[in-house]
Amino acid sequence: MEWIRLPLSEGTHTKQAHCDLPDGTFEREMGKEGFGGPAAHFVHRHPPTGWIDFDGPVRPRALDFCELKSQHTLPWQAPVMLKNAHCEVRWWRLAESMTALARNSDGDQLLFVHDGAGALFCDWGRLEIGEGDYVVLPRGTMWRIDVTAPLAVLLIEATESSYRLPDKGMLGPHAIFDPAVLVRPVMDDAFRAQQTETETTVVVKRRAALTTIRYPYNPLDALGWHGDLTPVRLNWRDIRPVMSHRYHLPPSVHTTFQTDRFIVTTFCPRPIESDPGALKVPFFHNNDDYDEVIFYHKGNFFSRDNIHPGMVTFHPSGFTHGPHPKAFAAGAAAAKKETDEVAVMIDARDPLDLSEEALKVEWTGYAASWQVK
């Protein structure tokens, strides 16, 4: 419940955030706790992203993961691209079936399949995976993938934490996606067929170090199980975005998974706001409490230019950002009636560090892409 609190105001302002801006002006939101705390909405003469130069550690960056071609048979061999004490992001290409089992003892593992297909075998059974799938693997899960089409996978580790579903509040538990769409592994004939007496290696990651354990048999030999802990699969096509035709909702509304120190959000195709006074692109906002990472999976992201699938943008906390000029103009002209992009966003409460591998595939002109040409 919320107490009735009347906001303060000064000078030129709007009654409703993100709506009915005076012609030729630009709105900027400055808030606490992302989009969930107290906020102020400023009306500006100029775009808040109208810089002529940008240099220093909070400079926005774009990375092209498509340029990373190396293949790795284990997820722990895949390069770490961004990391802090609570989150680790890797980019993994897997062309052939894994020959060893993997086990993450540092935290829950989230896989997002950008491309390819295969069968994931784990303690709980077999799970078919393919393009657009999220797979949540609880900490300590032993698993491997048999590849049927070469895979490109975004790996997001919840270090020393767990993935949970967000509180959907008054929307109810069945909004955005019904838990009934989640798919779990099954102990079918294919799972039982792989229970051989063949020597098997398990590679365990703990505190960023690897430990190898050898068995004289395949330890994925469970006969059955019961309980309420299991890996699950969710495809972005089963997500039904919440939207309002009269108000541009903040990205946190689209949260898919939540951990102690970061959230994972999915942007899916949806109708664009149709009310004449409603903002039709993401609003300019200060990025002060969270580092923001977006992985672009499909389509054309409606607030960006020169970004293609497989790229990642990184906005460190500490500066104002928002739509690119062309995207802002297209939104103002209501040029599109619906979005067609699919993207995965990580909002991290703690600063993320870019790795040397990430910097090798940086598009250094990204900060200048906000400049009006």
Residues with Cβ within 8 Å of 154's Cβ and at least 6 positions away in sequence, in order, are 89, 90, 91, 92, 111, 112, 114, 295, 344
Q: Residue 279 above 80 pLDDT?
A: yes
Hey, which of 11-20, 25-34, 189-198 has the most confident mean pLDDT?
189-198
Q: Residue 303 above 70 pLDDT?
A: no
Please give the pLDDT value at position 125.
Answer: 98
pLDDT in tens, 317-329: 999 999 888 877 7
Please give the pLDDT value at position 183.
Answer: 98
% of residues, the chain, pLDDT over 70: 99
Q: Residue 302 above 70 pLDDT?
A: no
Mean pLDDT in residue range 192-213? 97
Considering the chain, what is the average pLDDT of its residues? 94
Mean pLDDT in residue range 341-355? 97
Label residue 335 by pLDDT band (50, 70, 90): confident
Please give the pLDDT value at position 1.
Answer: 78
Q: Residue 373 above 80 pLDDT?
A: no
Please give the pLDDT value at position 202.
Answer: 98
DSSP class of residue 48 equals: T
Mean pLDDT in residue range 22-48? 91
Q: Considering only CA atoms, which of 347, 364, 243 is closest in space to residue 294?
A: 347
pLDDT in tens, 163-201: 999 999 899 999 999 999 999 999 999 999 999 999 999
Please give the pLDDT value at position 129.
Answer: 98
For residue 301, give the amino acid letter.
F
Check: CB of residue 19 under 8 Å from CB of residue 41: no
Q: Residue 76 above 90 pLDDT?
A: yes
Please give the pLDDT value at position 280.
Answer: 87
3-state class (DSSP) for residue 301: coil
Sheet architecture: strand order including 26-31: 39-44, 26-31, 284-287, 319-321
pLDDT in tens, 215-272: 999 999 999 999 999 999 999 999 999 999 999 888 889 999 999 999 999 999 999 9
Domains of the chain, each with CATH number or no CATH: 26-62+241-370 (2.60.120.10), 70-236 (2.60.120.10)
* Cα 108 to Cα 86: distance, rounded to the nearest angstrom: 11
3-state class (DSSP) for residue 23: coil
Residue 350 φ/ψ region, left for φ over 0, alpha for ψ in the -120 to 50 degree band, beta for the rest:
beta
DSSP class of residue 174 equals: T
Label residue 115 by pLDDT band (50, 70, 90): very high
Please give the pLDDT value at position 282.
Answer: 87
